[in-house]
Structures are given as C-alpha cells and as structure tokens.
Amino acid sequence: MSKTEALMQAFRRAIGVRIKEEGEIIEGEVVEISIDRPAAGGDSKSASKTGKLTMKTTDMETVYELGGKMIEALNKEKVQSGDVIALDKSSGKVTKLGRSIGRSRDYDAMGPQTKFIRCPEGELQKRKEIVHCVTLHEIDVINSRTQGFLALFTGDTGEIRSEVREQIDTKVAEWREEGKAEIIPGVLFIDEVHMLDIECFSFLNRALENEMAPILVIATNRGITTIRGTNYRSPHGIPADFLDRLLIISTHPYTEEEIRKILDIRCDEEDVNMSEEAKLLLTKIGVETSLRYAIHLITAAALACQKRKGKVVEMEDISRVYQLFLDVKRSTQYLMEYQNQYMFNEVSGDMLDDGDETTTLA
C-alpha cells in the first residue's frame, strides 16, 4: 500500500455518513404463538416448520403466517405470549422491546432486567425512519470487491481505485441533495507529523481542499529541521505552504501545581496509595526532570513498597527508585563522564569540556 493510499484511507475513516431510510415495521404485543411441527414419519430435515403469530395493539389485532426463518428468529429472541416486539419487514429482524405491563402479574418474581412497557397504540404496521452510521472508508471497502464486507473484519483492504471513490462520492452527494444522507466530518489526528515527506504533504494540501475533509490535527516536537524528501529546512519540518493553512497552538511547560494534579490522577488510576510527602518529592522530581519520568516512577515506587511489605508509598520508596532509574539529564552526564569506556565513542574532547546541557550525542 502506498503512502498516499494509507493517508486517503485515514481521511475516509474520519468522515462519517448518516444514512436515513424509511422501513416498515410491525410493532405490537404478542397474544399467541402457535407452531405446527412436521409429522414424525416424514423427512423432518426437509420439512419446514410453519405457524401463526397473533399480535395486537390497543386498536386492533391481526394473525400473521410464519415461515421457518421467522420462527427461528422468534425462538432466538425467546419471544413468548405477553412480549412487546418489533418486526422489520424488509430484513425479518426481531427486536424484543419488553414485557407488556398488562402481564406484570403473570409471575410472582421477575428478573431485574425485565422491562415493562405499555401496549402500542394505533396500527400494527408502521413506517419508521432507520438511521445507519458508517464511514466513507467502509463504503469504499464494501464496493471495491465482491468480498468487501469480509475485508472490513480482516483488515486486508488493499488499494482502492480512485474510480470507485468517485462513484461513491457522487452517490453520497445525490443522497445529500435528496435528504437521505448527512455528512459528518470527524477529526483526523496525525502525531509526529515531521516524519511525513514532501509527497505526503502535497497530498494533504490537496485533500484538505475537499468539501468533505475532516478536521485535521497534527502534532510535532521538532524545531527548525529538514523537510523529509528535500534539502530544505522549515519550521517543524513542515513545508511553508502547508504550515500557512494551519492554526498553530502554542504549548507551555506545566506548572508545579499542574504536575501535582496530574500525578494525583495517575496514582488514582494505578491504585497506588502514596503519602503526601512522597507526592511532594515526586512533584519536585517532575519539575526538575520531566513529567513522563515522574509518572514512570509511580509504578516502580509501588513495587518497591510492595517488596518491603508496605501499604503506602513513602519518600524512601521514591528515593530508592530515583537512585535506581536515571532520567535523561543524569544518563547523559553519566555517558559524558565515562565515555572512554564505551565502544564506538564519537564525542570529541571539545564537546566534553563544554558544560552546556544541550550537548547532543552522535
């Protein structure tokens, strides 16, 4: 699968289509179900079951002839006399809505999942609007091959021809004009966007001009760097013409109070009981090193507490794991001090003499 095809499929997954259609349903209370089983002397496998279903509303009562498939559907839902059900005439789907409130006294005890509803009013046959929510990608896959529906579950979608997508877009546009469908643009999030090359950025430029394009959110932690596939440098590794289309959100480092709140939430999520002194120490570590490093120490400190058979993580547990596991700054300092003892050392002596913390390792 090409890079642009993967991006296109991601775009189409983020675009929802709400398809509306009217279907005929039969909704009412079951009065009686009678099933005629085939005679034992005949071929029981070839003979099909038949039966009759009596349903009613507050205004009318009707008897329906049942075939084998409908009997199986009713048996699957365990429909019995007194249930309120809905039958889809087009698909034959049986939906059990609940138990008629008039039959609430039939049994001395009922399960907590039993739902009592009133007997429907009006006619048995009604027209009801049915809403299906799918994505454009799912429509693409189903129409791209004969076994397309199975490809949705296996994930083996492969390349989808542009002609198929054009036909689907045309059909969806017709449904929109007729009021049968509604487009719901979603959100597509691309992390580490600087890893995309110039070909991908050119594709995104064109894809965003489509009227059905989703909201695109991208994230990167790069500064002025080279655009992949070119020799040009650009802010965040993103071409200037694409960057001009974006609303750039600036981020700021967390304050000490915010780090404390995040660590509290993380401790609750991981079911770690930690003393206030230990949380203060962990917050200080998060301010001096990084929030990610402080979060990693929570699980390690909980294991250290478990080893000493304690129930609450104390300062000694935080100090213990802080000594065992290094953060990036201490690890870099350690490497600079003992660089001569490592293989393939590529740090020059001048870099070692320079005390700048931003020194990068080749």
pLDDT tens for each residue of 53-111: 888 888 888 888 888 888 888 888 888 888 888 888 777 788 888 888 777 666 655 66
Domain boundary among 90, 114, 130: 130
Which pLDDT score is estimated for 76?
Answer: 84
Residues 345 and 305 in one domain: no
Structural domain range at position 88: 20-34+49-130
Residues 190 and 285 in one domain: no
User: Tokens 């695109």 label which residue?
Assistant: 216
Residues 305 and 281 in one domain: yes
Residues 268 and 198 in one domain: no
* CATH number for the domain harbouring residue 309: 1.10.8.60
Q: Domain for residue 114, yes or no?
A: yes
Q: Domain for residue 139, yes or no?
A: no
CA distance 305 to 31: 65
User: For residue 349, what pLDDT band results from cuts at 50, 70 and 90?
Assistant: low
Domain boundary among 175, 198, 232: 232
Q: Domain for residue 91, yes or no?
A: yes
Burial of residue 12 (CB within 10 Å: 0-12, 13-18, 19+) is buried
- Amino acid letter for position 55: M
Identify whether the C-beta of residue 128 lies closer than 8 Å to the C-beta of residue 89. Answer: no
218 sits in which H/E element: strand 215-218
Q: Domain for residue 136, yes or no?
A: no
Q: Domain for residue 55, yes or no?
A: yes
Q: Domain for residue 164, yes or no?
A: no
Identify whether the C-beta of residue 31 lies closer than 8 Å to the C-beta of residue 55. Answer: yes
Residues 261 and 289 in one domain: yes
The token pair at 204 is 């995104």
User: For residue 280, what pLDDT band results from cuts at 50, 70 and 90?
Assistant: very high
Identify whether the C-beta of residue 83 lies closer than 8 Å to the C-beta of residue 30. Answer: yes
Residues 30 and 124 in one domain: yes
The mean predicted confidence, pLDDT, of the chain is: 83
Q: Domain for residue 75, yes or no?
A: yes
| pLDDT > 90? residue 324 | yes
Q: Choose among 171, 188, 189, 192: nearest CA to 180.
A: 171
| pLDDT > 60? residue 149 | no
CA distance 188 to 11: 7
User: For residue 49, what pLDDT band results from cuts at 50, 70 and 90?
Assistant: confident
Residues 318 and 342 in one domain: no
Residues 293 and 209 in one domain: no
User: What percent of the chain stands above pLDDT 70?
Assistant: 85
For 107-140, the pLDDT digits (tens) are 655 666 777 888 888 888 888 777 888 888 888 8
The count of structural domains within the chain is 4
99-121: b (≥16 Cβ within 10 Å) or e = bbeebeeeeeeeeeeeeeeeebe
